[in-house]
Structure 1
Amino acid sequence: MTSTDPILESDLNAYVDDQLAVGRRIEVEAYLSERPETAAQVMRDLRVRDELRLALADHRTVTREATRDAARLLERSLSHRRFSSAFRRAATIAFLVAAGWTAHAVLGPFGATEVVASTPPPAFVEEAVRAHKTTLLRDTMTSQPETETFDPAEIRSATAIILPDLPKSWGVIDTQVFPSAYGPSVELVLEPNKDERLSLFAVRPGSFAVQHVLLFHADNARAAYWQIGDVAYALVSESRKADDLAETARDLSRTLY
């Protein structure tokens, strides 16, 4: 039975810390789905948490035990909202800079590359990459005409998927709807610059989450993916550098708030 208890600040903190029972977590997610500003703050908190965890994982072989213990304490502290956003950012930067200098001392300069997801990506990311490759195949076939008509309102009405606002200079080369496990997905083939192709894939993955942009490499393609509420997105490219693709994905994600 659904609880009628109000969602408190402590519930949001526990949600970020992965300390809620499944039933209460569902109630928090329903609460966040109706409050975009609060969901955005939770997303920022999750990003701080994940960046710290990733930094700890990347540097566990080169940092001293005392440094790791201090970082874990910092990670727990940052999840509590009594600290201001400015403090959280400053503390995170300070830790990451310290960890970076430690790695520099042991591994030498330029010992690290761009950050990618350290765990397997969600299934929708692989769907996005497959859709991207299918689009490239379609592009070589004269019998498969492109559909350049792009109506975000029509897509939202038909699929319940909200697409991000695109830069005015970008062209929409093709619009396709694909089947997926939890309803239709949408793929846009975009042309940010002449002869450059990006694929924007959006789908309802069947779960609620607030996930900041992460990177995934698959063969020759890169995907920058994120999720806001019950809709997930992936920006796929075979030409853009990882950092540039991730920053572009962040710009698109900001238009959804």
Structure 2
Amino acid sequence: MTSNDPILETDLNAYVDDQLAVGRRIEVEAYLSERPEVAAQIMKDLRVRDELRLALADHRTVTRQETREAARLLERALSHRRVFSVFRRAAAIALFIAAGWVAHAALGPFGATQVVASTPPPAFVEEAVRAHRTTLLRDSMTSQPEIETFDPAEIRSATAIVLPDLPKGWTVIDTQVFPSAYGPSVELVLEPAKGERLSLFAVRPGSFAVQHVLLFHADNARAAYWQIGDAAYALVSESRKADDLADTARDLSRTLY
């Protein structure tokens, strides 16, 4: 059950601080899903908060007490979520200071720093690649007819997934609905140009986020993926270059706002 109380700045502050009850969190997330600009700001604050907490929780390295206290002060300041960017800049400065002292303690004043590997992609990206390969298999089988009928309104009604607007000249070759952990997912097989195949995969991944377009490589397939609110998307190709695929994904993502 939800209330009719308006979402206030204090609710957004409490959301960032993990201080809301489950029901109120759902109301805040519904509010954010309809306001991408506010949601993007909240995600920035959550990222800075988590970076600060990670820096404070890492006991494997030795950090000066003054730096740890400064980070704690910044985290408390961030909990009040000012609308100006000064706190984000201050948080970034604190992290740079902490990283400098860690490197100094571990490697000395002239040591080289360790490169941190990127995090693995969300599970839905691997689902998108598998769906793409399944589609290629279906395409080679005469007994598996393609379903070219494409009705975005019907898909939205049945799956609660909003699909991006396709560029003029693109053709929908096949439309499929796949099962996933948090409900049905949708895959469109697209033909931007004669003989070219792209797969657009859309799913509700079970979490709320605002994620700009990132790239993932899996053998000979590439995926450009992003998330807006509670829906996530992946554009998969085996022929397009990575930069071109990412640019196309960004163009598609803009139609969702």
TM-score, structure 1 normalization: 0.67
**1:50 counterpart residue number:** 47
* Contact 1:49–1:78 (8 Å) recurs in 2: no
- Against the structure 1 CA distance between its residues 112 and 28, is the aligned structure 2 distance closer, same or farther, given a 3 Å change threshold? closer
Identity over aligned pairs, percent: 68
Matched, 1:121 2:127: no
- Against the structure 1 CA distance between its residues 187 and 256, is the aligned structure 2 distance closer, same or farther, given a 3 Å change threshold? same
**Separation in 1, partners of 2:68, 2:241:** 31
- For 1:50, give the aligned amino acid: R
* Contact 1:174–1:189 (8 Å) recurs in 2: yes
Kindly report which structure 2 residues correspond to 1:57-76, keeping only aligned pairs within 5 A, or say none: none
- Flag the structure with larger Rg: 2
- Against the structure 1 CA distance between its residues 138 and 80, is the aligned structure 2 distance closer, same or farther, given a 3 Å change threshold? farther
- Bigger mean CA deviation after superposition, 129-138 or 10-19: 10-19
Which runs of 5 or more residues in structure 2 are unaligned? Answer: 98-102, 104-109
Secondary structure of 1:141's counterpart equals coil
**1:217 counterpart residue number:** 216
**1:140 counterpart residue number:** 140
**1:9 counterpart residue number:** 9
Task: Please report the RMSD computed on the Cα atoms of aligned residues, expressed in angstroms.
Answer: 4.4
**Separation in 1, partners of 2:190, 2:88:** 33
**Separation in 1, partners of 2:255, 2:75:** 29
- Bigger mean CA deviation after superposition, 75-84 or 157-166: 75-84
Kindly report which structure 2 residues correspond to 1:1-257, keeping only aligned pairs within 5 A, or say none: 2=2, 5-33=5-33, 36-37=34-35, 39-47=36-44, 49-50=46-47, 82-84=82-84, 117=120, 121-122=122-123, 124-205=124-205, 207=206, 209-213=208-212, 215=214, 217=216, 219-220=218-219, 221-257=221-257
**2:100 counterpart residue number:** none
**Separation in 2, partners of 1:237, 1:93:** 36
Aligned length: 245
**Separation in 2, partners of 1:214, 1:96:** 25
1:147-168: per-residue Cα shift (whole Å, max 9, x none)? 3332222322333321111121
- Against the structure 1 CA distance between its residues 70 and 204, is the aligned structure 2 distance closer, same or farther, given a 3 Å change threshold? same
* Contact 1:16–1:42 (8 Å) recurs in 2: no
- The Cα of 1:213 is off from its aligned counterpart by 3.0
- The Cα of 1:138 is off from its aligned counterpart by 1.6
